[in-house]
Amino acid sequence: MSRRHFGTDGIRGKVGKSPITPDFCLRLGWAVGRVMAKSGNGHVLIGKDTRISGYMLESVLESGLSAAGANVTLLGPMPTPAVAYLTRTLRADAGIVISASHNPYYDNGIKFFDGDGNKLPDAIELEIESQLDRDMTCVDSDRLGRAAHMDDASGRYIEFCKATVSRGFNLRGMRIVLDCANGATYHVAPRVFEELGADLITFGNEPSGTNINDGVGSTYPDYLASKVAEYRADIGIAFDGDGDRVIMVDHEGAIVDGDQLLYVMAAHRKATNKLNGGVVGTVMSNFGLERAFEDLGIDFVRAAVGDRYVLEQLRERKWELGGESSGHLLALDLSTTGDAIVSALQVLVPIVERGKTLAELSKGMQKMPQTMINVKIGSPKEVAVCSEVTTAAAAIDKKLAGRGRTLIRPSGTEPVVRVMVEGDDAAEVRTIAEELADVVRVAKI
């Protein structure tokens, strides 16, 4: 059975358009309550980012859960990883996050955690979808769920973040520019870094309900780079709207993406004998990362795009560290899901302990030139795997062996085939990518 509503990270869409409508989300809350809060009056947490539509979706989810007999704790604006952490520590049956992550304010989404703070397996998502096909009912009045606000949610999460570094760790003497994307980290991230002693300049911490990710945050790192230069800061840190992605800027103004940050984290753990196993990236991770790990003797494997697939590989191999170029980084010894604040702290640890700059620590990974061409075409899934295309790609991979690679994959959201080529020589990479794109355009299925 295929999923109809759930994508790789919950349910997402434009507010007011199916499925992000009040009536659907009312039934969704009821279905989640039926599936995940079966033990008497179960307990479900709801957190959200700063989108104006969060108020509407929060209220209907609460109503649906109550109708199913589930008690609800409302956390207010909280980062996605905070909801995962609080779900686990409060022994709740499930956690719900209302957020569309790095998308603009007019989008929103619903994602879920189980009682252990993990993203839902396919089987549970399918069970929820099955419930959505049923007529919505309501438990008897004496079994209706209750709702309450949690006043100390942010304080608990702030203490958790600080506890992921050693007791003696501090950021005194370090000037940091922080960009909270006008999102869910706006009220917790500044306190974490201030309480650790940083000289902090903060932007993107004035959410209006409609300015989340609007020219700020991890999807607009040039803004952060300009502020690092303006304030002559030691480092810049930018989060996305729901606080599970992080991008940094070094003191020279260079943007340091998720691949480079993952390298810094893994290299430090390797040097201090704290790296458990290898590292998981994705098919989109820069080939330079693979090369850098090979030089360090660190095992590296690629998962499909999406943090849930990185997580699957980590659990299967019993490793701890993985992530994506976008800055969605996983350190499973510290958190069950991607946590932007925790990841930023893990990058700051070697900077403080070794007395080196981010520029110095990240230079061990040299990003290779990359060209991506989107080929608009009918039946992208079939074209991407047809013999003409795979044969041409295999011949190029053989030619680039050890100094580059190709990647051809259908988009999950557009009628296009994405053709990506990486290699040592930027001009050669561009030429090869255009040749391979031409093969895709004329391929017959």
Q: Which residues are catalytic?
A: 101
Instruction: Give CA–CA dist 420/280, Å, rounded.
Output: 20
Instruction: Give CA–CA dist 38/357, Å, rounded.
Output: 51
Q: Cis peptide leading into 207, omega within 30 of 0?
A: no
Q: Hey, what amino acid is at 55?
A: Y
Instruction: Give CA–CA dist 334/326, Å, rounded.
Output: 20
